[in-house]
Amino acid sequence: MPITVATHPSMVHHFVGHVRARPDRPCLWYHPPGQPAELMEKEVAVRTWRELARDAAHAAAALRSLGLAKGDRLAFLSPNRYEWIAVDLAVLSVGAVHVPVHNSLSGPQMRYQIVDAGAKVVLLSGEEQAAKLAACEPPPSDFEYAALDPVATKLAGAAPRQLFNLAPSPTDAEIDAWLDSAGREIAPDDVATILYTSGTTGEPKGVMLSHRNITSNAEAIVIGFGGAQEERRLNLLPFSHIFARTCDLYCWLVGGSEMALADAPQTAIENCAEFAPRILNAVPYFYERVMRKIVEVGMADEQGILQGVMGGNIHYCCSGGAPLPEHIAKFFNDRGMLLVSGYGLTETSPVITMNTPEVHKHGTSGRAIDGIEMRIADDGEILTRGPHVMLGYWNKPAETAEVLVDGWFHTGDLGTIDEEGYLRITGRKKEIIVTTGGKKVAPALLEAKLTADPLIRQACIVGEGRDYLAALIVPAPEALLAAVRAAGDDLPDDVPLPKLLAHPAARAAIYACIKRRLSDLSHYEQVCKFALLEREFDIPHGEMTLTMKARRAQIAKNFAAEIEQLYQ
């Protein structure tokens, strides 16, 4: 039956339909955890639709035993794995709210999201996540804890119990009963998931997405790409991000196709060779790595090199999560591998526009997906409305009202729409930095942490469209001189500032300061390089407003040479 937008009230109903129609058809391939990383040929597990239903029903029974019910929040701390999918289906099936927490976050960051969401159940993958939470002061305790793997670390006075030991494996009759009841209590506008995204102040906001939001978005994407059930996609991005959640997991569920799970983003090329996918979604950083490697080994002009590297069966690749540089798209397309991109945000489930294999224009972010509206405001901001727009920010009505005005979501991004309806992104109103890996970073948070130290007077974080973060640092000369002297070098009081900034002990002191101040943040929020500046950002140079707020664009322009040096 052809798919039309919003034909199903939830993703669970799509899933149940595939189980009913093709129960014994393989749908998932993956490597079970626990195999040695250096093992050349790993065991491959294959799951059918019926087997996935069995495990989802098992997970649902286990979660109910912990008291999880309609409307309750479950925080899930785990990297991608087969059980992630079964748990997601289980949570959605009972009408609960799935709150996936990024596995790369630090313990305090995880704790904040768990507490802010008011989670009833906290589900961990294993020891790594338990150790992060146990190190928090105080560790979160007012929750029911469970884990996928055995965990010895105690949380709330006891080690988490293994989820699938909390209920017996379901019988065939119980699986059928679960399929009959799954999603029965779901209304399209019920909250399905809360995803945390960084705000301009650095305080994460929980984006509430409904069943209608994610289902309509996935259905519209599949319509645009014309998916077939014989297609196999390789998932390499984390399901805790909306890009992979919708464009891999839910598009796979809508289309009833096949999916293979990469062991990790770093092993994607090896996994391509093994699973021979037809579709691949990734962030620009992944495609840049592939391009650089091919160029470095001198094989850029070899015919068929990209197909050879990526499994030999790729029909098209999609880029999202961050703007795709045109030179990367051109490199792939010139070598016979179609690489298209789209545009969206967590708040829009996420896709607003997309290029497709049949309808695309390079250098743009594509055209609006089926069933939504998009326009450009007088100030150039991209606005959109439709079934893809979030319900709002969790417990933040004021912030919600700022971005949802008369039904239109204000994206904070600037763009233009050409006569054919293709969107071009021209800038960002928001201060959020998006790296080439698709990681979103609130620079104000990092800068506040750095300038809280006596050594640092001013700081400006850079990294938009780059592989890593860097910083322009204006040090406090007196404090820095004292740090150099404490390291054993008795510099005079009148030492020239350039000489002080170039002193190895000065750079070591600033480096230690940066590491110390940002130690409670995740790895992608760490500053990898820095430049020490001889003057402060000021009003005469156009770098500060009259109220002493930083003008980032002017700072980047004035110190363009220093910034470029940080990325040499």
Following DSSP, what letter does each residue of 72-129 receive, concatenated?
A: -EEEEE--S-HHHHHHHHHHHHTT-EEEEE-TTS-HHHHHHHHHHHT-SEEEE-SHHH
Residue 1's pLDDT band (boundaries 50, 70, 90)?
very low
**Residue 560: what pLDDT?**
96
Closest listed residue to residue 193, CA positions, set 80, 346, 320, 82: 346
How far apart CA 352 and CA 392 sit, in angstroms, is 17
**Residue pLDDT, tens place only, 191-232:** 999 999 864 345 789 999 999 999 999 999 999 998 666 789
Neighbours of 229 (CB within 10 A): 13
Q: Is 478 helix (H, G, I), strand (E, B) or coil?
A: helix
Q: Is the pLDDT of residue 288 over 60?
A: yes
* Mean pLDDT, rounded, for 109-134: 96
The tokens 């140079």 sit on which residue? 541
**Residue 40: what pLDDT?**
63
Per domain, the residue ranges of the chain are 442-566
**Residue 7: what pLDDT?**
61
Half-sphere exposure in the Cβ direction for 214 (13 Å, CA): 34
Q: Is the pLDDT of residue 16 over 50?
A: yes
- Start-end of H helices in 434-493: 443-451, 477-486
Q: Which residue has the higher pLDDT, 428 or 552?
A: 552
**Residue 183: what pLDDT?**
87
**Residue pLDDT, tens place only, 338-359:** 999 999 999 999 999 999 999 9
* Mean pLDDT, rounded, for 377-400: 96
Residue type, 219: E
Question: What is the token pair recorded at 430?
Answer: 């928001």
**Residue pLDDT, tens place only, 545-562:** 765 778 888 999 999 999
Neighbours of 501 (CB within 10 A): 18
Residue 27's pLDDT band (boundaries 50, 70, 90)?
very high
* Mean pLDDT, rounded, for 420-444: 87
Following DSSP, what letter does each residue of 389-402 receive, concatenated?
A: S-SEETT-HHHHHH
CA 54 remoteness from chain centre? 29
Q: What percent of the chain has pLDDT over 70?
A: 96
Residue 113's pLDDT band (boundaries 50, 70, 90)?
very high
**Residues in contact with 301: Cβ distance below 8 Å, sequence separation at least 6, in sequence order:** none
**Residue 201: what pLDDT?**
44
**Range among 2-11, 437-446, 532-541 with highest mean pLDDT value:** 532-541
Q: Is the pLDDT of residue 267 over 60?
A: yes
**Residue pLDDT, tens place only, 54-98:** 999 999 999 999 999 999 999 999 999 999 999 999 999 999 999
Q: Which residue has the higher pLDDT, 7 or 411?
A: 411
Q: Is the pLDDT of residue 5 over 50?
A: no
Question: What is the token pair recorded at 484?
Answer: 């150099």
**Residue 2: what pLDDT?**
40
**Residue 547: what pLDDT?**
58
Per CATH, the number for 442-566 is 3.30.300.30
**Residue 553: what pLDDT?**
87
Residue 469's pLDDT band (boundaries 50, 70, 90)?
very high
* Mean pLDDT, rounded, for 420-436: 87
* Mean pLDDT, rounded, for 182-196: 94
| pTM for this entry | 0.85
Rg (CA), the chain: 25
Of 5-14, 17-26, 307-316, the range with the lowest mean pLDDT is: 5-14
The whole-chain average pLDDT of the chain stands at 92
Closest listed residue to residue 249, CA positions, set 14, 5, 50, 20: 14
Helices H / strands E in the chain, number of each = 20, 27
